């Protein structure tokens, strides 16, 4: 049973499987210095289309990658659940809003609420976690709006332009998500 053939709709976004024709744009965003600044791999070599295919087009059930669309199919980013562990009921969330004109408009928050609902209700997860740069104030605000709780500080966890960066570990449990008021009511469609 593949994890990816799902389309989810939120109040502001539509999430759908990543397609081959998305890969050049996802690669361009991964190599854009302003976007890359916040990516965990900011000190690695430039990404290729094949790198994007490996990351965003999973071949197993442990990863779910969905393109984030707005306005009649405009691609603005990608959201993923990685390390999906059905036995222990957990996964890690990763999100990139690559289209900088979409930053700060609530699209990432909406997409996260949609994928969190899918992860908890459809996949049956009990916990979803993430790590983010400690100075990613915009991202942290969005994660907290979705109900993520800070769990700890990972000191000098990654490099950004050769300099160590602290990161924050955050998580949300299924019961915490369910206790929140619903501001986006996702609709699931078969592809």
pLDDT digits (tens, 9 = 90+) for 114-147: 999 999 999 999 999 999 999 999 999 999 999 9
Two tokens at 51? 């790198």
Contact 112, 94 (CB under 8 A): no
Q: What is the pLDDT of residue 1?
A: 35
Contact 3, 188 (CB under 8 A): no
pLDDT surpasses 50 at 191: no
71 pLDDT band, cuts 50/70/90, is confident
Contact 161, 43 (CB under 8 A): yes
Domains in the chain, CATH or no CATH each: 6-180 (3.40.630.30)
Contact 153, 134 (CB under 8 A): yes
3 pLDDT band, cuts 50/70/90, is very low
Two tokens at 54? 């490996």
Across the strands, what pairs with 189? 7
More confident residue, 181 or 116: 116
Secondary structure (H, E, C), 99-152:
CHHHCCCCHHHHHHHHHHHHHHHHHCCCEEEEEEECCCHHHHHHHHHCCCEEEE
């Amino acid at each position: 049973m593949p994890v990816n053939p799902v389309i989810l709709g939120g109040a502001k976004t539509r999430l759908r499987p990543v397609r081959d024709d998305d890969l050049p744009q996802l690669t361009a965003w991964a190599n854009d210095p302003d976007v890359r600044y916040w990516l965990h791999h900011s000190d690695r070599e430039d990404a290729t289309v094949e790198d994007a295919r490996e990351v965003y087009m999973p071949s197993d059930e442990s990863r779910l990658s969905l393109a984030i669309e707005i306005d009649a199919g405009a691609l603005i980013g990608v959201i993923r659940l990685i390390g999906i562990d059905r036995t222990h009921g957990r996964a890690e969330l990763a999100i990139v809003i690559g289209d900088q004109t979409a930053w700060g408009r609530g699209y990432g928050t909406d997409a996260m609420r949609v994928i969190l609902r899918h992860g908890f209700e459809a996949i049956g997860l009990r916990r979803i976690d993430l790590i983010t740069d400690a100075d990613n104030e915009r991202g942290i605000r969005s994660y907290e709006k979705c109900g993520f709780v800070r769990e700890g500080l990972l000191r000098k966890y990654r490099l950004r332009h050769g300099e160590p960066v602290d990161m924050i570990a955050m998580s949300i449990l299924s019961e915490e998500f369910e206790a929140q008021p619903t501001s986006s009511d996702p609709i699931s469609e078969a592809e």
